[in-house]
Amino acid sequence: MVTKSKSRNTRWIWLATAIALLLVFYGVHLATRTKVPIRVAEATRGELRSTISTNGKVEPQVNFEAHAPFPGVVKQLYVHEGEQVKAGQLLVDMDDSDARAHVAAALATLRGAQSGYSDTLAGGTQEERISMNSDLTKAQMDRDQAQRSLATLEKLQLTGAASANEVNDAKQRLASADQSLASLQQRKTDRYSAGDVGRSKSTLEEAQAGYAAALDSLNQAHVRAPFDGTVYSLPVSRTEYVQQGDRLLQMANLEKMQVRGYFDEPEIGKLQEGQPITISWDARPNEIWHGSVSRVPSTIITYGTRNVGEVLVTLSDADGNLLPATNVRITVTTANESNALYIPREALHTEAGQDYVYRVDKDILHRVVVTIGNLNLTQVEIRNGLKDGDTVALSSTNGQPLGNRMPVTPVQ
């Protein structure tokens, strides 16, 4: 019995010794394990600008395009591409011989329609009116003669010198003369119905429109500058044959330009009228242009493979170097904090909708939940969770993932 008890105690002693050794080894491991080398940064107060960048296209605030009003030959060019011109200056002439013939034909048609409408309102042509007046005069004379004859016969009847039949015949002649006169008078005043007048007026209006169109086409054959500006596109050459509608010339005031920017749908809510804008162009990498948002998107459109909103940017320092249709880079400042607490965006982590960072305290990482504010491509504002001067982990230098309570060694 005693032997069994001693054997059991011995086993317990060995088990306790093994556990103690394991605890010692684990403690030594914790105390001596290798610390993970990490890159760090400090939470700092200062100016934080939140920006959004996208692509855009330069366009004039007021653009003028001249198109060929008819198929024909470019007769003369008076300017070259890039030339500055004055309002009213002649720029391009097209051969207008056919256009002049069309104007002459349209004018003849117009004059005929004017004459026809005037005749309709007056009751007929001059010849017809003269003939009608002559017929009216004769009918009036016949009626007066019938009236006098009736009066004479009625007097003679009283003395027995005329019979009743003669008087009745005279009355019938007077009635017939009255009817003929009334018929002619009605024909003179009501020769044309309201429908006839309306059709004649429509014919006149069509002729007027045709003449105006022919005259406008002739005028468009001689292109003049509508305002002071620069000819920035001249795709035709002298003696070249062009089709109706072909572009002859484009001009604009290159010191009054705007940019149409295309912002992705999720970013539209951050945009407001008046926000400052900078413009850069790869062709002139050392130059920056400035402006402001003048119109925010009112709808979403498809632009290539993107759903975007169109933003209009008015430039305040256009100098003539930004050419229409140039592709540029737009950067809009959506917020500007002068005393924000910020850290590099690289230090921010998000999990299940929660933002957090790893704060470094005595070479140990501590996961800290934070509230963020404005941000840009490289920095993020911390509104709650850190204080000025706190050190946060960016990443390990050996690729090992960061974790809570991890021992670390900050490196430069």
Please determine, for residue 135, whether its predicted confidence score (pLDDT) is greater than 70: no
Q: Which residue intervals of 160-283 are DSSP H helices?
A: 164-189, 194-220
pLDDT value for 153: 77
Per-residue DSSP letter, 399: S
Element counts in the chain: helices (H) and strands (E): 5, 23
Q: How far apart are CA 250 and CA 83, in angstroms?
A: 11
3-state secondary structure of 106: helix
127 or 62, higher pLDDT = 62
274 and 377, same structural domain? yes
Q: How far apart are CA 136 and CA 345, in angstroms?
A: 104
Please determine, for residue 335, whether its predicted confidence score (pLDDT) is greater than 80: yes
Residue type, 145: Q
The β-bridge partners of 49 are 336
205 and 118, same structural domain? yes
Residue 26 counted as domain residue: no
pLDDT single digits (tens) 396-406: 999 999 999 99
Q: How far apart are CA 92 and CA 243, in angstroms?
A: 15
345 and 201, same structural domain? no
Contact residues for 160 (Cβ-Cβ < 8 A; gap 6+): none
Look up residue 318 and give its two tokens: 């256009």
Residue 240 counted as domain residue: yes
180 and 290, same structural domain? no
**Residues of 216-253 as b/e, b for ≥16 C-beta within 10 angstroms?**
ebbebbebbbeeebbbbbbebeeeeebeeebebbbbbb
Residue 14 counted as domain residue: no
Residue closest to 326 by CA, chosen among 261, 264, 263: 261
Please determine, for residue 277, whether its predicted confidence score (pLDDT) is greater than 60: yes
Contact assessment for residue 221 and residue 94, using Cβ atoms and an 8 Å cutoff: yes
Report residue 218: phi and psi, to 5°: -65, -45
Q: Average pLDDT of 68-80? A: 96
pLDDT value for 32: 47
Contact assessment for residue 346 and residue 393, using Cβ atoms and an 8 Å cutoff: no
Look up residue 145 and give its two tokens: 């003669």
pLDDT value for 25: 56
Q: Which of 52-61, 133-142, 187-196, 344-353 has the lowest mean pLDDT?
A: 187-196
3-state secondary structure of 149: helix
Confidence of residue 69 (pLDDT cuts 50, 70, 90): very high
Domain ranges, residue 83: 63-94+223-251
Residue 132 counted as domain residue: yes
pLDDT single digits (tens) 278-307: 999 999 999 999 999 999 999 999 988 999
Q: How far apart are CA 381 and CA 410, in angstroms?
A: 23
Residue 24 counted as domain residue: no
Q: What does the angle CA 165 – CA 169 – CA 172 come to, to the nearest 5 degrees? A: 140
166 or 385, higher pLDDT = 385
Residue closest to 82 by CA, chosen among 391, 321, 333: 321
pLDDT value for 134: 73
Q: Average pLDDT of 386-403? A: 94
170 and 273, same structural domain? no
Q: Dihedral of CA 99/105/110/111: which sign?
A: positive
Q: Average pLDDT of 52-59? A: 95
Q: Average pLDDT of 354-361? A: 96
**What total of structural domains would you count in the chain?**
3
380 and 261, same structural domain? yes
pLDDT value for 90: 97
334 and 196, same structural domain? no
Whole-model pTM: value is 0.60
pLDDT single digits (tens) 233-247: 999 999 999 999 999
363 and 292, same structural domain? yes
pLDDT single digits (tens) 197-234: 788 888 988 999 999 999 999 999 999 999 999 999 99
Residue closest to 131 by CA, chosen among 191, 65, 77, 174: 191
Pairing mode of beta strands 284-295, 301-303: unpaired
Q: How far apart are CA 95 and CA 220, in angstroms?
A: 11
370 and 278, same structural domain? yes
Residue 3 counted as domain residue: no
Contact assessment for residue 280 and residue 288, using Cβ atoms and an 8 Å cutoff: yes
Q: What does the angle CA 210 – CA 215 – CA 216 come to, to the nearest 5 degrees? A: 95
Look up residue 164 and give its two tokens: 């009743």
230 and 278, same structural domain? no
Q: How far apart are CA 139 and CA 133, in angstroms?
A: 10
Q: How far apart are CA 275 and CA 185, in angstroms?
A: 79
Q: Average pLDDT of 177-194? A: 68
pLDDT value for 314: 95
392 and 320, same structural domain? yes
Q: What does the angle CA 362 – CA 348 – CA 373 come to, to the nearest 5 degrees? A: 115
